[in-house]
Amino acid sequence: MSAQDEPRTETAQSGASTPAATQSSAAAATESDAGGAAAAAAARGTAATLEPEAARARARGGLFARVRWWWILLAALVIEFYVYGSRGHIEVCVGKQGETDFALVGKDRTDDNRWKFPRCEAATNLGLVSKYEQATKEATSVACRGATIFRHQGEGKQCVAGSDGWQHRVQTRHAMPWDKAFYQHLLWFLF
């Protein structure tokens, strides 16, 4: 029930039918109508100024909501690139204990240390699903084949198994997105 209806219902309930009571109720109704109209006009003016602000706030909220999705997408992309290149480069070196020096890897060969170098093989492990075990096994097999081709012939199986004095050294490093192998594997359909 609004404030405008209250005086009218009071007069109707009181049952006063005198002209003075009717005039006073009409004056009260006019005052309440004028006050209500002023209040309604003020409310409309306030609502008119609030509508553009509300629209801007809704638009801003929509923009920020879209921006949040971009941040989530960017974070997912970074996580995917990290997982994609995790343990991406594998280097397996094999050698016979007492004959091979793994500290020589990456150094120049000389006549003195020529037979002390281990046989190393590189492999890649790129993708969202890791194939680390398979890649390591294949690289070890290839490195052992190379290590037993001239010397230690017939010891290929012992080399792969790592028995009878054969040692394996496996090193991994992360493949970065700008590495050639990384983007060629990721964008295989372009290369």
Two tokens, residue 172: 């991994």
User: Bridge partners of 89?
Assistant: 124, 173
Sign of the dihedral through C-alpha 129, 130, 135, 137: negative
Q: What is the pLDDT along the chain (191 residues), one digit of tens a residue?
A: 444 444 444 444 444 444 444 444 444 444 445 555 555 555 555 555 556 666 665 656 565 566 777 888 889 889 988 999 999 999 999 998 888 888 888 888 888 877 788 889 999 999 889 999 999 999 999 999 998 888 878 888 999 998 889 999 999 999 998 889 888 888 888 87
pLDDT digits (tens, 9 = 90+) for 21-44: 444 444 444 444 555 555 555 555
Two tokens, residue 171: 């090193």
